[in-house]
Amino acid sequence: MDIKETIFSLRYRKGDSIELVSERTGVSIEKVKQILKDQNNIIRETEDELTVDEVSELTGFSPMWIKRNIRKYNHFISPVRTYLFKTSENPIGFAVHVFNKDEVYKYCEVKLKMLLKSADNYLQTELNPTYYDGYPYGYKRSFNTPKIQQVYTRFKTLSSKPFSSNHWVGKLNYNNRLSHKKVMAEYRMPTSITKEFKLNEYKHYEKEIN
């Protein structure tokens, strides 16, 4: 295979990250992205479509994770079609998933809201007093503890702008505790979690440590 075919095989078929594709081929990350962008333009039939590579860049999930979670777990949206990619070493070809752009963005918005709500619930649980027998004043964690600061830093960044700003691109894969099954259930049948979306304020906590 020539270098372009190798890049396509590593990214589309094996699902390697762009950084790993660059490392394995010796091609710069910028050049790899440009080669993939040119090929994505060929694979897409309309502007309403996104290839698995483009979906990976949006969500932060690897192409292999996307492929596996569609086929094995049904934990990701289904592609609208597949593109058969043939190489000199694989004349039969391998499938490249192609998705509906609007559905991908709908999924991303649901995932972002659920990530934020999960972080918000965690912060509320940890920062508000929990009362036990023998502890009349309650128990709560300090706002400046490392774990809470880690969660809050991500929460603050992802909640700082509206979804339309695209500030969330590539940042939707960090919370392994959030069930992909629950995200897909919310995507298919929205509940008050995303329809009546609201988050708590934490500015008064920030003042305490400044």
| Sign of the alpha-carbon torsion through 20, 48, 163, 71 | negative
Q: Are residues 65 and 150 in the same domain?
A: no
Q: Are residues 81 and 117 in the same domain?
A: no
pLDDT at 11: 94
Cα(157)–Cα(78) distance, integer angstroms: 29
The whole-number average pLDDT for the span 130-156 is 81
Q: Are residues 77 and 147 in the same domain?
A: no
Q: Are residues 159 and 96 in the same domain?
A: no
Specify the pTM. 0.89
Q: Beta-strand (E) ranges in the chain?
A: 49-51, 81-85, 94-100, 130-132, 135-139
The answer to whether residue 137 scores a pLDDT higher than 70 is no
Domain, as residue range, for 168: 103-209
Q: Are residues 111 and 146 in the same domain?
A: yes
Q: How many CB atoms lie within 10 A of CB 44?
A: 16
Q: Are residues 158 and 117 in the same domain?
A: yes
> Which of 72-76, 96-100, 130-134, 169-173 bottoms out in mean pLDDT, i.e. has the lowest?
130-134
The answer to whether residue 3 scores a pLDDT higher than 80 is yes
- Tokens standing for 3? 């270098």
Q: Are residues 193 and 137 in the same domain?
A: yes
How many domains are contained in the chain? Answer: 2
If you average pLDDT over every residue of the chain, what do you get? 90
pLDDT at 31: 97
pLDDT in tens, 98-116: 999 999 999 999 999 999 9
pLDDT at 51: 96
- Tokens standing for 165? 């700003």
Q: Are residues 84 and 147 in the same domain?
A: no
Q: Are residues 73 and 135 in the same domain?
A: no
- Tokens standing for 78? 């289904």
Cα(62)–Cα(65) distance, integer angstroms: 5
Q: Sorting pLDDT into bands at 50, 70 and 90, what band is 135?
A: low
